Structure 1
Amino acid sequence: MSRLILHFPEQQFYFTTQLTVRITDINAGKHLANDSMISMISEARARFLYQFGIEEVGENEVGIIVTDLATTYRTAAFARDTLIFEVGLMDLNKYGGDIIFRITKARNGELVALAKSGFVFYHFAASKVMPMPEDFRMRFPGVNCLPDYA
């Protein structure tokens, strides 16, 4: 049983995409490997940002960096399983927030994993964290904010 408990409000999901588990994603236990799941989560994040017109690094050298990742696994996925990645946002603060993921099997809706990835806005040329751009926040009016968001 997982020591970490992740719970996401239903209304915080904004995007869905599908990815298929490749044979190269399988580990010695004959199921989806942890490192491959992380790669799939990264791909789902990139598709989510692209869908909303958000560049991971913009022309002004400000972009998004991942600060942490937490994942809980519920069941195994196997080669050729099509997985549905529901992606959303929650707990926004002055500098970033969490991108959340619910991963299920397309064939039966079985929950494979839940994950959340912390992010901040970062100015790459200046090498420092930056406040969240207002146009980012405005794209997601229903996202909950932490109490200290200002």
Structure 2
Amino acid sequence: MPRIKLTLPEHFSFTTEIPVRITDLNYGGHVGNDSVLSLIHELRVQFLRHHGYQELDMAGVGLIMADVTIEFRAELFYGETLRGSIAAAEFSRVGFDLYYKLEKLANDKWVSVSFARTGMVCYDYKAKKIAPVPKEVMNKLLS
């Protein structure tokens, strides 16, 4: 069966570190796939906050995650620190993609843990309809 292979952008505009919590572990003793999705959500919130936005208010529009792709590459354990990097790309009239690179420090070098992509759609929650990406948002997220 063919496996998903994400092609990541060369440049990531935002990087942060998040400690792995005990609640991120599954019965196998490592970070579960559902927790990786939660960690990606945390990274996205920090990325948006860095640019002065929130998921429900990005220059007047909110965000909805339309789809997600995650490529798992290595285990992540309690006590390790996750380094997450994010890049915005592939803007359309009403949405864009966010790419995520998740790494951990092992033997004094950063090792890839997961790669991910989320398809984000701008949404007007009051009108209950899809909205265009504000030009200001595209300019900030690409910088």
Q: How big is each residue's C-alpha offset from its partner over 1:26-61, in whole Å with a ceiling of 9 and x where there is no partner?
A: 111111011111111100000000001122122986
The answer for unaligned runs of 5 or more in structure 2 is: none
CA gap 1:94/1:109 in 2 versus in 1, 3 angstroms: same
Q: Give the CA deviation at 1:23.
A: 1.4
Whole-angstrom distance in 1 between the partners of 2:141 and 2:121: 16
- Residue 109 of structure 1 aligns to a residue whose secondary structure is strand
Normalising by structure 1, report the TM-score.
Answer: 0.87
DSSP-derived class of the 1:85 partner: strand
- Aligned positions of 1:62-77 closer than 5 A: 62-77=61-76
| Equivalent AA in structure 2 for residue 20 of structure 1 | P
Question: Is 2:143 aligned against 1:136?
Answer: no
Structure 1 range deviating more: 49-58 or 113-122: 49-58
Q: Is 2:98 the partner of 1:81? A: no
Identical amino acids, percent of aligned pairs? 34
Contact 2:87 2:142 in 1 (8 A): no
Q: Say if 2:9 and 2:99, in contact at 8 Å, map to a contact too.
A: no
Q: How far apart in 1 are the matches of 2:100 and 2:71?
A: 11
Structure 1: any 5+ residue segments left out of the alignment? 143-150
2:93 aligned partner: 94
Aligned residue number for residue 15 of structure 1: 14
Q: Given the two structures, how large is their TM-score scaled by the length of structure 2?
A: 0.91
Range 54-63 or range 27-36, more displaced: 54-63
The question of whether the paired residues in 2 share the 8 Å contact of 1:86 and 1:103 is answered with yes
Question: How many residues matched?
Answer: 141
What is the RMSD of the two structures over their aligned residues, measured on CA atoms?
Answer: 1.9
Indicate conservation of the 8 Å contact 1:61/1:125, yes or no: no
